[in-house]
Amino acid sequence: MKIINLKKEFEEKIIKDTLTVLKNGGLVIYPTETCYGIGADATNPKAVEKIFQYKGQWRGKPILIAVASKQMAQNYVKINEIAENLYQNFLPGPVAVVSKSEGKVVSDIESTTHTLGIRVPNYPLVLKIIKAFGKPITSTSANPSGKKTPYSLEDILKYTSKKRLGLIDLFLDAGKLPLRPTSTVVDTTLNEPAVLRQGEIVIPDIPGQTFVSNSEEQTKLIAQEILEKYKNLLISKPLIFALQGELGSGKTQFAKGLGQALKITSNIPSPTFIFFREYPYKIASNQGIFYHLDTWRMEKGEEILDLGFKKMLGPTNVVAIEWLQKVKPILEEISQKTKVCLVWVTIEILSETKRRIKYQI
Amino acid sequence: MKKNFTILAIDTSCDETSAAVTDDDHVLSNIVSSQVEFHQKYGGVVPNIARRMHQQLIKPVINEALKRAGKTIDKIDALAITVGPGLAPALEVGISTTKNLAAEYQLPIIAVNHMEAHLLSAFAKNSKGNGAFSKINSQFPILGLLVSGGHTQLVLMKNFGKYQLLGETVDDAAGEAFDKVAKMLNLGYPGGPIISELAKQGKPKYELPIPMIDSKNLNFSFSGLKTACLYKLQKIPQKQKNRQFICDFSSSFEKAVAQALTIKLKSAIEIYQPKQIVLGGGVISNITIRREARKVASKFGLRVFVPYTQKLFTDNAAMVGVCAWYQAQCGDFVKDISKLDRQPNLSFTP
C-alpha cells in the first residue's frame, strides 16, 4: 500500500497517481467531508469484486458511488423531482441520493430493486480526481464490514487485517479527519423521500412543510398557501396535487381551497360519483382549467387514462386527485416522462377537528 | 305540434347506458343496461368498462328500446340526448351516436339537461296513460327534491322550462354518503341500497349530527355526517359490530339523511309556498326518505308526487324522452347539430 501525504505532494502528481491505480482496477482510500472512503472504478467488475473482498459484506447490500457533479450523475441514474431538489440543496455534501439506476455500473453495487445511491463528496481534490477519471468510483467507508469507521490512517492500520490491507493500492493521507457522521442516505424512488441512513444532515421537508389545521376553513387556507408557492410554475407546466388521506380527512376541502385560490366562484362538490369535474379559472398571472378527480369508485388506476387524464396535463392546468393510491404508479411514470410539477399532499387525522397536512414535491 | 310525438331518447351521463321510446309523455319502452353486475363483479364502477360498455351497448340498447316499443326508426319524430351534467367522456358517446342517427335518418335533436329530466320524471306516464299526474293536473309552482349518487338539489319549477335552483350539496351527494358509510360498515359497493334494506330491521339508536341544520340557506352537506359516522364507528369495538348493530346503525344514518333533506324541504316550502312537491333521483327509492318527505308536505296540505315506477328514479332515458317532449312543445330543438357538445357542468339556469 502506497501512502501519499496530501500536504506534501503536488496536486497534479496526486491525481496522476490515483488515476493510474483506478484505471488498473485498483483500490484507493481517500478522504471526504465525512470519513475515509474506499474507491474503485464502479464500472469495472474486477475492481468492484475487490471492494466486496475488502469490505467482507454480502452482495445484496448496495454500495454508494461518488460522482463529480449532477451532470455526471445523470449518466448513471434517473433524477426525479425529489432527487433534483436534494442535488440542488445538499450536494456536494454529506447526503447520498438514491435513484433508479440506468444500469451502467457493476450491478452488484445496485440494490436488488436496481436503485443506486450517489454521493458528490464536498472535498475538492476528490471531485477533481473523479472528474479527471470521468467515471464514478465507489464511495463506501474504508473499513471492513463491522469495524470502526475510519477517520485516520491509524484507524485503518489498527482495525484491518494484513490480508485485507494487501488489497489496497493507495492511501491518500489527509491526516486526522473531523469526526463527522457518515452521509445521510435518502431514497427518492418512493413518492416521499425516505431516509435510509441518518447522517449529520437532517433532511427537512424540502421544500415542503407541515401544517396543522383546526378546521375545514383552515384546511382551505393551507391549500391556498401551498398553491401560492407553486403558482409561478404554471407558465410552463401543469400542477398536480396528489391528495392522500383517509375517508373524511378533508381532501375535498383541500380541493375547495385550491379552487378559491384560483378564483373559481362556483361550488366545488365531491367528484366521487362523476369521477372528475372541470372548472375553467382565470387569475392575474394565468388562465386554464382546474380538474378535480376522485378515484374512489375506480377499480384500477389505469382507468384514469380513459378519462383523458393526459389531455388534462396541459401547461397552466391545475389537477387535484383524491384517493391517489390507485394511480400512484401512473403518476410517478407520467411525472418522469412529462413536464409536470407533482405536489404530494398527505392529510392525516389527528383528532375530530385536527388535521396534519404535509406537502412535498 | 302533432299528436303522438314519438321520441327516441338516449342517456349516457355516467354509469348507465340507456335508451327509451316515448310517445308524448307516455313511456313505451325504457331500457337500462344496468351495470350493477359490473359493479359487483369488479368491486366498483370502472370507467373504462363503463365507457367501453357505452360504446358496445349503445346500439343493442337502442335496438331493444325500439323493439320493445314496437317501433322502427322511421316512426321516430325526434331524438333526445342528455348533454349534461355528467361525466364528459361518457356523455360524448351518447352525443356522437345521436348525431350519427340524426344525420342518417334526418331527425331533429332535443338536447336535455339530465337533472331537468329527473325533475320531470314524475310527469311520465306508462303506455296506458297512468302516472303520478294522470288524474291530477300540475299546479305551479312545484317544488322538486332530487336526490341521487351525484346530486342533491332543491329546485323550484315555475312552469315547464322555467326553473330556479334553490339549494344543492356543497360537498358529498346524499347517495354518495350512503355508499361511503356502507363501505365503512363493510357492505361492499354500491352499498347504499343495502343500508336501506338493513335499516328496515333496525332502530335509530345512535345519535348522529343532522348536517346543516343551523345554516340559513337551502344547501345541503353530507361530508360532515360521513365523518361523524367514521368517528362513531371507530369508537365501537369490532366485536360489538354484529348484524343487529349494523341494522341499527344503518337506521340511524338513514334517519339523519332523511332529516337533513326534510328540514331543507320544509324551509323551502315555507319560503316559496309551492302547490305541489315532486321527488326524483335514485335515493328516492329509500322508503324512509319518501315517508319523511310526505310527512313534512302533509303539514302544509301538499301532495308529493313520485314517478310511477322505480325504474324512473335512477338514471334512465325515459325521463329524458318525457322532458324532451315538453321542450319540443316550446320548439326547443338543437339549431346547429354540428355545434352540439357535452356540458358536464350543466345546471339549472333561471
Closest CA to B20 of B54, B84, B55, B71: B71
- Evaluate whether B6-132+311-339 and B142-306 have a shared fold: yes
Interface of A with B in 61-120 (CB under 8 A): none
- The H or E element that residue A290 is part of is strand A286-294
Cα distance between residue B320 and residue A42, in whole Å: 69
- The H or E element that residue A356 is part of is strand A355-360
Strand B142-147 to B6-11 pairing: unpaired
Cα distance between residue A349 and residue A250, in whole Å: 9
Which CATH superfamily groups domain A209-360? P-loop containing nucleotide triphosphate hydrolases (3.40.50.300)
Spell out which residues of chain A touch residue B170, defining contact as CB-CB under 8 Å.
267, 269
Which CATH superfamily groups domain A2-197? DHBP synthase (3.90.870.10)
Cβ atoms of residues A148 and A84 within 8 Å? no
Closest CA to B82 of B170, B168, B16, B157: B16
Cα distance between residue B277 and residue B300, in whole Å: 11
Residue B215 has pLDDT above 50, yes or no: yes
Cα distance between residue A133 and residue A44, in whole Å: 13
| Closest by Cβ to A273, choosing from B170, B176, B231 | B176
Cβ atoms of residues B277 and B309 within 8 Å? no
Spell out which residues of chain B touch residue A305, defining contact as CB-CB under 8 Å.
48
- The H or E element that residue B99 is part of is helix B88-105
Cβ atoms of residues B289 and B263 within 8 Å? no
CATH of B6-132+311-339, one of 3.40.1350.10, 3.30.420.40, 3.40.50.150, 1.10.20.10: 3.30.420.40
Can you give the pLDDT of all 361 residues of chain A as single tens digits? 899 999 998 999 999 999 999 999 999 999 999 999 999 999 999 999 999 999 887 666 789 999 999 999 999 999 988 888 888 877 888 889 999 999 999 998 998 788 999 999 999 999 999 999 999 999 999 998 888 899 999 998 888 888 889 999 999 999 999 888 888 888 888 766 677 777 666 665 555 678 899 999 999 999 998 888 777 777 778 999 999 998 889 999 999 999 999 999 999 999 999 999 999 999 887 899 999 999 988 878 888 888 889 999 988 999 999 988 889 899 988 888 888 888 889 999 988 889 999 887 7
What beta strand segments (E) does chain B contain? 6-11, 18-23, 26-32, 78-84, 109-113, 142-147, 152-159, 162-168, 276-280, 304-305
Closest CA to A220 of A249, A263, A261: A261
| Closest by Cβ to B227, choosing from A248, A270, A305 | A248
Predicted TM-score (pTM) of the model is 0.70
Length of chain B: 350
The residues near A311 (Cβ < 8 Å, ≥ 6 apart) are none
What phi and psi, each to the nearest 5 degrees, are found at residue A284? -55, -45
Does the beta-carbon distance from B344 to A247 stay under 8 Å? no
Task: Please give, rounded to a whole number of angstroms, the shortest distance from the CA of B112 to a CA of chain A.
Answer: 18
What beta strand segments (E) does B248-318 contain? 276-280, 304-305
A266 interfacial to chain B (CB closer than 8 Å): yes
Please determine, looking at this structure, whether the domain spanning B142-306 carries the CATH number 3.20.20.70. no
Handedness of CA A52, A53, A57, A59 (dihedral sign): positive
> Could you tell me where in chain A the CATH 3.90.870.10 domains are found?
2-197
Domain boundaries, chain B: 6-132+311-339, 142-306
> Could you tell me where in chain A the CATH 3.40.50.300 domains are found?
209-360
Closest CA to A196 of A135, A272, A79, A115: A115
- pLDDT at B332 (0 to 100): 96
Cα distance between residue B249 and residue A38, in whole Å: 65
